[in-house]
């Protein structure tokens, strides 16, 4: 029998259905609440609101669990590739060999970027943040690749999906090369997705880039771990913008903008800036931990804490191990890795961090790994965006495939002025404004 929740307002009681997910999560379905009671629910930041039913990603913040389509990320990080995981997220199951080959071929076929787009890249002001550039360019893709004639919406979507996954990687490397004033390196059909990215970033006519299998593997793992994270800020942005029935490029562009923020994906850049500051100040982490606890200081320990995880982020555990592997490849160890380790040790013993359940999140060690690969700090959030793209697409597609994709439209509790008359400018005093 369906479980019901009871809500009493004044002397009236209303019953609302309780819905249960496949992992036993429960929610009160309040869709009929306003119609029946005149009331809405109040949940700033939507931290306690289920905005959709989704079959893509499961996370359990209390126990540090993360699964894509039911498969633990630990298994995917160990055994899968980024391309295969992207297929899994978007299509709901692991591909058979011929499906994976077809997907890889399509990614290759769509990897080039329209030459006219280079003019755009070249005309952004020097120092423009790569996330702003990426968001603008992804939106612009719609004009360079307009609607295809004679294809059904679903057939066209297939092409847009591979186009996006492939071109975003090419555009990211291209914008880096252009920012340096270097010659753009084109994608090579004989290289896999991750190797191609590293090659486009670092190869040059005067200094050929040696592809290191450990770096290629590390990049696969890094992007697998960023693949999806259910209804986070940028994913919710993709769903919300998409709910107005704007095209996929524009929805993804909105996701990139949301991810840019330092409380979200931008934290990976902020973590490294913080560690550089600690290093420049002599390397003592304790004053920084003290600042993070001080309520009169708005400094936060970047890379710590998470809206859902109240324990160690399972992705951070894997990335921490990977940091050791990639560091071992370097001639000189990165002093920021020692700072990160010490910071973690001190914070995890600190009563404030213990009481607030603050643990390292995905961004805490990812910057160290990317630095070891030679990725510049201002590109870190772009790296996150490339990894998150399959998740955003899967989430958008889940909405697109649903017969009941509603226009997102939260409500509010108005706390402004009550009705008042317009005052002519000559009669206004400051207190009236």
Task: Summarize as ranges the residues that interact with ligand ACO (CB under 6 A).
Answer: 263-265, 267, 292, 300-307, 356, 358, 361-363
Which residue sits closest to ligand ACO, CB atoms considered?
305
Instruction: Find the shortest distance in angstroms from Cβ 306 to ligand ACO.
Output: 5
Closer to ligand ACO by CB, 199 or 236: give it.
236
Instruction: Find the shortest distance in angstroms from Cβ 259 to ligand ACO.
Output: 8
Please, is 102 exposed, middle or buried when counting C-beta atoms within 10 Å of its C-beta (0-12, 13-18, 19+)? middle
Instruction: Find the shortest distance in angstroms from Cβ 391 to ligand ACO.
Output: 12
Closer to ligand ACO by CB, 102 or 291: give it.
291
Instruction: Find the shortest distance in angstroms from Cβ 204 to ligand ACO.
Output: 32
**Cα distances (Å, whole numbers) of residue 252 to 13, 136, 217, 365:** 43, 10, 26, 26
Q: In whole angstroms, what is the distance from residue 383 CA to residue 218 CA?
A: 13
Residue with tokens 């291209």: 174
Q: In whole angstroms, what is the distance from residue 171 CA to residue 117 CA?
A: 9
Instruction: Find the shortest distance in angstroms from Cβ 346 to ligand ACO.
Output: 13
Q: Which of 110, 264, 306, 350 is catalytic?
A: 306
Instruction: Find the shortest distance in angstroms from Cβ 263 to ligand ACO.
Output: 4
Closer to ligand ACO by CB, 241 or 258: give it.
258
Instruction: Find the shortest distance in angstroms from Cβ 428 to ligand ACO.
Output: 39
Closer to ligand ACO by CB, 343 or 399: give it.
343
Closer to ligand ACO by CB, 301 or 399: give it.
301
264 given a catalytic annotation: no
363 given a catalytic annotation: yes
Closer to ligand ACO by CB, 227 or 265: give it.
265
Closer to ligand ACO by CB, 228 or 363: give it.
363
Catalytic residues: 306, 363
């Amino acid at each position: 029998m369906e479980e019901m929740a009871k809500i009493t307002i004044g002397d009236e009681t209303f019953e609302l259905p309780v819905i249960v997910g496949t992992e036993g999560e429960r929610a009160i379905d309040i869709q009929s609440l306003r119609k029946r009671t005149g009331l809405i629910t109040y949940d700033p930041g939507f931290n306690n609101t289920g905005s959709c039913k989704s079959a893509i990603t499961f996370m359990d913040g209390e126990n540090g669990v993360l699964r894509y389509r039911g498969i633990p990320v630990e298994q995917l990080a160990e055994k899968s590739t980024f391309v295969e995981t992207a297929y899994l997220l978007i299509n709901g199951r692991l591909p058979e060999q011929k499906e994976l080959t077809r997907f890889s071929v399509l990614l290759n076929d769509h990897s080039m970027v329209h030459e006219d787009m280079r003019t755009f890249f070249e005309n952004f002001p020097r120092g423009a943040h790569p996330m702003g550039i990426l968001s603008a360019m992804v939106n612009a893709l719609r004009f360079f690749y307009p609607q295809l004639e004679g294809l059904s919406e679903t057939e066209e979507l297939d092409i847009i999906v591979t186009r996006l996954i492939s071109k975003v990687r090419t555009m990211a490397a291209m914008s880096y090369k252009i920012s340096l004033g270097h010659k753009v390196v084109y994608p090579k059909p004989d290289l896999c997705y991750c190797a191609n990215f590293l090659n486009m970033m670092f190869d040059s006519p005067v200094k050929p880039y040696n592809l290191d299998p450990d770096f290629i593997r590390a990049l696969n793992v890094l992007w697998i771990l960023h693949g999806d994270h259910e209804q986070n800020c940028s994913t919710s942005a993709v769903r919300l913008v998409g709910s107005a029935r704007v095209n996929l490029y524009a929805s993804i562009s909105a996701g990139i903008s949301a991810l840019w923020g330092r409380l979200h994906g931008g934290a990976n850049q902020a973590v490294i800036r913080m560690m550089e500051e600690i290093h420049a100040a002599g390397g003592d982490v304790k004053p920084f931990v003290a600042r993070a606890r001080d309520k009169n200081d708005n400094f936060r320990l970047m890379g710590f804490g998470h809206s859902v995880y109240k324990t160690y982020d399972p992705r951070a555990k894997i990335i921490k191990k990977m940091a050791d592997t990639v560091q071992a490849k370097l001639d000189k160890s990165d002093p920021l890795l020692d700072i990160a380790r010490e910071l973690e040790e001190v914070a995890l013993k600190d009563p404030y961090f213990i009481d607030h359940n603050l643990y390292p999140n995905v961004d805490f060690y990812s910057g160290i790994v990317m630095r070891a690969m030679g990725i510049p700090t201002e590109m870190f959030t772009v790296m996150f965006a490339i990894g998150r793209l399959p998740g955003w697409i899967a989430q958008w597609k889940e909405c697109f495939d649903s017969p009941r994709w509603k226009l997102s439209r939260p409500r509010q509790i108005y706390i402004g002025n009550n009705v008042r008359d317009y005052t002519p400018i000559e009669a206004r005093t400051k207190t009236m404004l």
